[in-house]
A and B are shown apart, each in its own frame.
Chain A
Amino acid sequence: MGLMYFFRRKSPWILHYNTGSCNGCDIEVVAALTPRYDVERLGMVRKGSPRHADILLVTGPITRQSKDRFLRIYEQTPEPKVVVAVGNCPISNCVFNGCYNVVGPLDKHVPVDVYVPGCPPIPEAIIDGVLKALPRLKR
């Protein structure tokens, strides 16, 4: 499957999922698509469907109700896939730790491949995180 890995690595398709975040990380993820950072030149494309995704970019502290939907999306995403936790919320719940409707962090529910800390991390850090995730597609 060397060739497939080559294509996935050269053109990863990304699904961006928000589990209840404040939007801060999400707008930096979107900013990564815009001219200053322009991830598309690296071959990365943001897709709407989990069935086409190689990389799951997850933001937010995992609220109770978003958890089930996220798990369904995780199941629907075919292997090989990598999970990138973007921002402090999926890593540690950030300031929402202790809030009664928050059931994070993310690695309580799914294995996480890359953690990109920050509140929010800058777009360069997010891109770096995705690039670090790519070699893990080879499994």
Chain B
Amino acid sequence: MNVNEVARLIKRYADDVKIVGARQVFAATDKERYLEALTALRDNDLKHLTTITGADRGEFIEIIYHIHCGGALLNLKLALPKTDLEIETVTDIFPGAILYERDLMEMLGVQVKGHPDPRRLFLPDDWPAGKFPLRKEVKK
């Protein structure tokens, strides 16, 4: 798919769809539509989830699903208020998300419901609970 086709596809499930350069699309979805969006991509044979990025944006945590769409890269954003950091796992749509979601949970404190293996990935077992390294307030 090229950028225009990706933009057209994602418009139904996201807002703020922006084509950047020759091969990137940014879009912002929400909790109501993100699973549908990812399913629609998968059903169009777009199965490669490059990764999931999480960032502390101050008031909210921003999750970005980066999906490789053949001729374009879709960066699908999902903003979660820090008061409600619960999302559903996407591993039934993209099995390759399995480690990225664990990373998100332990580094930023996002709660991924339904994850088949929600253990810590990199942090040692005695790392203090509630201390998420990629949060802005965690310095050293």
Contacts and interface: CB of A to CB of B under 8 A. Distances in A.
Chains A and B form a bound pair: yes
Interface of A: 65, 100
Contacts of A65: 124
A65 B139 CA distance: 19
A100 B140 CA distance: 5
Interface residues of B, number: 3
Interface of B: 124, 139-140
Contacts, number: 3
A65 B140 CA distance: 15
3 contacts: A65-B124, A100-B139, A100-B140
B137 to A, nearest CB: 14
B138 to A, nearest CB: 9
Nearest to A100: B140
Contacts of B139: 100
Smallest CB-CB A-B distances: 3 pairs: A100-B140, A65-B124, A100-B139
A100 B124 CA distance: 15
A107 to B, nearest CB: 22
Contacts of A100: 139-140
Nearest to A99: B140
B127 to A, nearest CB: 11
A59 to B, nearest CB: 21
Nearest to B124: A65
Contacts of B124: 65
A100 B139 CA distance: 8
A31 B140 CA distance: 36
B132 to A, nearest CB: 14
B90 to A, nearest CB: 29
Nearest to B133: A100
Nearest to B140: A100
B105 to A, nearest CB: 19
Nearest to B139: A100
A65 B122 CA distance: 12
A121 to B, nearest CB: 30
Nearest to A98: B140
